[in-house]
Amino acid sequence: MSFEEMSKYGGTIVKWFRSRLEKNQEEKQDRLRKEEFFAELSRARKDLQAAHTNYNFAQEPALLEYYIYEIKAAETRLNYYLKLAKKDNLSNDGYLSGVFAGSRREEIS
The residue with greater pLDDT, 68 or 102, is 68
What is the residue-averaged pLDDT of the chain?
82
Q: Over 60: is that where the pLDDT of 59 sits?
A: yes
Residue 14 lies in a domain: no
Residue 95 lies in a domain: yes
- Stretch 26-34: mean pLDDT, rounded? 92
Q: How far apart are CA 75 and CA 82, in angstroms?
A: 10
Residue 43 lies in a domain: yes
Domain extent for 64 = 32-101
Residue 18 lies in a domain: no
**Contacts with 51 (C-beta within 8 Å, 6 or more apart), sequence order:** 67, 70, 71, 74
Question: Model pTM?
Answer: 0.64
Residue 25: strand, helix, or coil? helix
Q: How many domains does the chain have?
A: 1
Helix (H) or strand (E) holding 59: none
